């Protein structure tokens, strides 16, 4: 089962590439996603996914980590070299370090196996909504906006811009900017950004570093997204 675009789906239905070496899971996901309004193409390996990407433009990737040959991490790295397509990674691994690796690579979300299909639908929908800034900007009302240096972040829209340029950020990066933005230039404890837990603290540090690479001239010496030693972080915004 390599493709499952259903005839009754509209042309604008999101087209998702599911990459997993487990045939049963691929077919299950293709059927479930199709029933929930998605066009679906499946691939059993990174090589097959790469070949299909030459013929289709996908709105999102659902990517398994543990595949023979080129694994999901390696494939995601290659994708991120020239594409900002949203990536939702699946894995049977429970190691927090693997979640951190996925986030460092540029995955937008991370779902451990086994999972409830409805959770996949919710997470995929959130990722797609968060990564549609142009459509959101046209439809949304005027939003609360914070400014720092040449950047503007419209909190209600989750839209980060530098002048007229839209800066692509992940869902977690938007959540972090929203929390920091609502607090003005106040210090925000790391626990507020993570929900607590050592593994989560490591994850938020990764996200902060990725954000800095997008908004700071020198990420090692940040001007806007500052570390508050012993506390957490703060975003220095214009008053």
Do 36 and 142 fall within a single domain?
Answer: no
69, 75, 77, 102: which is closest to 88 by C-alpha? 102
pLDDT value, residue 9: 61
Asked whether the predicted pLDDT for residue 163 surpasses 60, the reply is: yes
Asked whether the predicted pLDDT for residue 225 surpasses 70, the reply is: yes
231-234: long-range contacts at Cβ-Cβ below 8 A with a sequence spacing of 24 or more?
A: 231/187, 231/188, 231/189, 231/190, 232/187, 232/188, 232/189, 232/190, 232/191, 232/192, 232/193, 233/180, 233/187, 233/188, 233/190, 233/193, 233/208, 234/180, 234/183, 234/185, 234/186, 234/187, 234/188
Report, as an integer, the average pLDDT of 6-16: 69
Count of positions (residues) in the chain: 239
Among 124-138, 170-184, 216-230, name the most confident range: 216-230
**Distance (Å, whole) CA 61 – CA 40:** 10
Do 120 and 147 fall within a single domain?
Answer: no
Asked whether the predicted pLDDT for residue 83 surpasses 90, the reply is: no
Report, as an integer, the average pLDDT of 171-190: 86
The last residue of a domain, from among 106, 130, 154: 130
Whether pTM > 0.85 for this model: the answer is: no
pLDDT value, residue 135: 41
Report, as an integer, the average pLDDT of 121-148: 68
pLDDT value, residue 140: 40
pLDDT value, residue 137: 41
In a domain, 25, yes or no: yes
Do 59 and 121 fall within a single domain?
Answer: yes
pLDDT value, residue 231: 86
Do 140 and 177 fall within a single domain?
Answer: yes
Do 27 and 126 fall within a single domain?
Answer: yes
Asked whether the predicted pLDDT for residue 143 surpasses 60, the reply is: no
If one compares 46 and 117, the residue with the highest pLDDT of the two is 46
In contact, 109 and 89? CB cutoff 8 Å: yes
The last residue of a domain, from among 107, 130, 153: 130
If one compares 231 and 142, the residue with the highest pLDDT of the two is 231
Q: How confident is the model at residue 110 (pLDDT cuts 50, 70, 90)?
A: confident
**Distance (Å, whole) CA 196 – CA 206:** 15
What mean pLDDT is reported for the chain? Answer: 82
If one compares 50 and 81, the residue with the highest pLDDT of the two is 50
Q: How confident is the model at residue 88 (pLDDT cuts 50, 70, 90)?
A: very high
17, 22, 170: which is closest to 91 by C-alpha? 22
Please state whether 128 falls in left (phi above 0), alpha (psi between -120 and 50) or beta: alpha
In contact, 208 and 144? CB cutoff 8 Å: no
Chain centre to alpha carbon of residue 202? 17
Range of the domain at 73: 15-130
In 45-156, which ranges are continuous DSSP H helix? 46-53, 72-80, 96-105, 117-130, 133-139
Place of tokens 């604008």: 12
pLDDT value, residue 138: 43
How many helices (H) and strands (E) would you count in the chain?
Answer: 9, 12
Do 221 and 126 fall within a single domain?
Answer: no
If one compares 133 and 204, the residue with the highest pLDDT of the two is 204
pLDDT value, residue 11: 60
**Distance (Å, whole) CA 101 – CA 202:** 11
Asked whether the predicted pLDDT for residue 127 surpasses 60, the reply is: yes
């Amino acid at each position: 089962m390599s493709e499952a675009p259903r005839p009754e789906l509209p042309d604008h239905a999101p087209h998702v590439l599911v990459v997993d070496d487990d045939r049963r899971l691929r077919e299950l996901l293709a059927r479930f996603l199709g029933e929930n309004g998605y066009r679906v193409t499946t691939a059993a390996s990174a090589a097959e996914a790469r070949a299909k990407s030459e013929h289709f433009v996908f709105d999102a990737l659902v990517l398994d980590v543990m595949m023979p040959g080129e694994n999901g991490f390696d494939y995601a790295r290659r994708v991120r070299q020239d594409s900002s397509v949203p990536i939702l990674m699946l894995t049977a691994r429970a190691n927090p370090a693997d979640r951190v690796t996925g986030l460092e690579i540029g995955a937008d979300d991370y779902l451990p196996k086994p999972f409830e299909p409805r959770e996949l639908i919710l997470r995929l929908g959130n990722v797609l909504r968060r990564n549609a800034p142009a459509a959101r900007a046209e439809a949304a009302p005027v939003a609360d906006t914070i400014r720092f240096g040449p950047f503007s972040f419209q909190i209600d829209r989750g839209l980060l811009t530098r002048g007229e340029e839209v800066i692509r950020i992940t869902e977690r990066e938007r959540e972090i900017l929203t929390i920091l933005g609502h607090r003005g230039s106040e210090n925000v404890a790391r626990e507020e950004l993570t929900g607590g837990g050592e593994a989560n603290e490591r994850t938020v540090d990764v996200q902060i570093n990725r954000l800095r690479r997008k908004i700071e001239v020198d990420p090692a010496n940040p001007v806007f997204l500052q570390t508050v030693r012993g506390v957490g972080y703060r975003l220095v915004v214009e008053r």
